[in-house]
Structure 1
Amino acid sequence: MGITYARRAAAVVSAVVALAATLALPGSAGRAEAAIGAITWQDEFNAPAGAPVDRSRWRFDIGGGGWGNNERQYYTDSTSNAAHDGQGNLVITARRENPGNYQCHYGRCEYTSARLLTAATFTQAYGRFEARIKIPRGQGIWPAFWMLGNDMGSVGWPNAGEIDIMENIGREPNTVYGTIHGPGYSGGGGITGSRTIGQPLADGFHTYRVDWEPNSIVWYLDGVEYHRVDPGRLGGNRWVFDHPFFMILNVAVGGNWPGYPDATTQFPQQMLVDYVRVSGYTSGGNPPGASAIRGAHSGRCIDIPGADPVDGAKLQIWDCNGTAAQAWTFASDGTIRAMGKCMDPAWAGTANGTEVNLVTCNGNPAQRFTLNAAGDLVNLSANRCVDVRDWNPNNGGKLQLWDCSGGANQKWSRV
């Protein structure tokens, strides 16, 4: 899927399918699954029949501009296109319309549908992303459960990255596709895998999932692995899957890849979603040598807020939870790293009160720290200690540099 950019041109469809066929093999026996923690976000869709989606969890993309793929639907936020069924499901409905109500890129829209996303409500880097879905069917029908990088607005597609957890096109009713897109491997060049089963996927509910960890994404259908990618698969292109992503659920009608509805396609078509669940990524799969850094005063660990490794994230203390946001590696260059970035005094500051943040590793000596035998976590440039501001022992207490005093709020240990 895509937002306002070409995704799969018709000329490369056969190449995509051929590539998918070569990748549609189960994972090797004995490969360890990612270390998955507690659920961090979920929607069980248990509202009464006809109720709209929970706007604290989902928002809508709206419009009929073709979405870069020459799609034919207009996406609305109407309950006629997205609502609960009262039986524990979200229902996304694609309808044939009398042209005239909405304007699409090709004229008056023939179809409406819905596209839900969490860009404004929830993002996460790494973990398990899973949904139990009964997909729609028919020529030209294109359901998807997928993700985009949260920096779409600043770097655009495909630099932000795209992870397609589930896609199906109606003319291949038994086949699920899983794909990544990034710079140099977008559109028809996406890294694609598939699995084909013995009956149409639309005949019942199936679970579609990815387990995503640093340098690895693995796809599953009903708990069975069918596709796996890592940076070595990219032919030297850049891996762009080390930052938070948001989720999308939609049903498209038509487009370059699936083709268009024909006389065999029946409407309305519905995608039923039983649940969407996201789990955290734990230290069990963290980089070798990674450890938490626990404070003696609070008993809590140095943490990246929201597991969002954005430049300038203000480091804090939080209940030790074994997630990637607390998995710190003491590198040979003197930096302390987590989620691909470095512990850093704001603006290379050396004064008392300088915030301790997370910033892209840049080789500046200001990013060098050491944890000495006395338990002092010392910034070498400032010769000051990492300190919990105001002796705050609670979740969310912020870190700063301060003269080393020997106080318990400056004492740390690797655990």
Structure 2
Amino acid sequence: MKSARLLRPLLAAAVFVSGVTSTALVADRGAPARAADTVSRSALSDDFDGARGGAPDGAKWAGDPGRAQLTGDGQLALGTVLRTQKSFGQAYGRAEARIRMNRVGGAWRALGVLNQDGGLPAGKVEVLADDRVDSDDFHTYVIDWTPTSLVWSVDGRQVLRFTPAGSGRPLLVSLNTAAGGFNPATMLVDYVRVSVRVTVKATTWKARTLYRPGKYVRFEGDIYRVRELHTSLPGWQPTLVPALFRKV
């Protein structure tokens, strides 16, 4: 039994072989889908890896590349305003960034939102707490949005609520050095992540079933997204073959 358990991870290397057998040619036959599940899915992730002096990923960011450069240490040195290339229209989502910035007040502006045209969205602003931060270390900035509001947090402390006029979506996420504080060019960004809440229909994982990329399965109470085309064999549960399933 012990040797069998040790061999299970190695079986993942044979996934494409089994994927083309006659067993794989049957339709997906997992258990019927349950009621829809709501899961969090990554919509953008950037750790700013790359050579010193390089530009941020143009597929993810729009702005002035001449004033935004990679440090070579997994950070972005920013002297301008960047915004995401794509907009986010989902009803629920979260944007998070780890930033070091020389700013006295208005720290929440370091991570901001724009409307689809790149302008400031209209709406009502409510200050919840003092958002001042020191410039000696990185701080975590978060925007949580729902159909009716956006809430900014700094280091886990809610500091501002914005109630947009209308739906407030789709929106762009921005990195902003231009508003408030002093010496606004002093800004380092460690990472930016955007996740959105989506509704999926997951089937219960079952052996000897063809699974296609992008499908969702449920196993032991958790939801997994299929990463590679394969026919599952006994022992290829999602918890044992992360090359084939990613927990969401």
User: TM tier, shorter chain?
Assistant: 0.5 to 0.7
1:53 corresponds to which residue? 56
Q: How much has 1:139 moved relative to structure 2?
A: 9.6
Q: Which amino acid in structure 1 is aligned with residue 189 of structure 2?
A: V
Distance (whole Å) between structure 2 residues aligned to residue 211 and residue 140 of structure 1:
18
Give the match for residue 248 of structure 1: 174
| In 2, Cα distance between equivalents of 1:270 and 1:44 | 19
Q: Report the TM-score when normalising by structure 1.
A: 0.35
Counterpart in the other structure of 2:166: 239
When residues 228 and 250 of structure 1 are mapped into structure 2, their CA distance, relative to the original with a 3 A threshold, is closer
Q: CA deviation at 1:268?
A: 8.1
1:290-329 equivalences under 5 Å are 319=215
- 1:273 aligns to what? 189
1:148 aligns with 2:114: yes
**Structure 2 residues not aligned, in runs of 5+:** 1-37, 204-209, 218-248
Name the residue aligned to 2:88. 123
TM-score of the superposition, structure 2-length normalised? Answer: 0.56
* 1:196–1:128 Cα change, 3 Å: same
- For structure 1, the 5+ residue unaligned runs are 1-34, 61-75, 94-113, 163-181, 284-290, 301-317, 322-415
**Judging changes above 3 Å, is the alpha-carbon distance between structure 1 residues 195 and 276 closer, same or farther for their aligned structure 2 residues?**
same
CA displacement, residues 215-264 of structure 1 (integer Å, 9 cap, x when unaligned): 2433222123344455xxx8xxx4332x32112213127xxxx4xx9xxx
User: Separation in 1 of the partners of 2:43 and 2:105?
Assistant: 36
Q: How does 1:21-100 map to 2 (within 5 A)?
A: 37-60=40-63, 76-78=64-66, 81-93=67-79
Matches within 5 A, 1:354-393: none
The 3 A distance-change label for structure 1 pair 139 and 132 is closer
Higher RCO (C-alpha 8 Å, min separation 6): 2
- When residues 58 and 215 of structure 1 are mapped into structure 2, their CA distance, relative to the original with a 3 A threshold, is same
Inter-partner Cα distance in structure 1 for 2:127 and 2:154: 12
- CA distance in 1 between partners of 2:154 and 2:106 (Å): 22
Contact kept? 1:142, 1:251, Cα under 8 Å: no
1:211 paired with 2:144, answer yes
Root mean square deviation, CA, Å: 3.8
For the 8 Å contact 1:124–1:246, the answer to whether it is kept is: no
Question: Structure 1 residues 36 and 191 mapped into 2: Cα distance closer, same or farther (>3 Å)?
Answer: farther
Counterpart of 2:88, as a letter, is T
Q: What is the CA–CA distance in structure 1 between the aligned matches of 2:166 and 2:109, rounded to whole Å?
A: 26
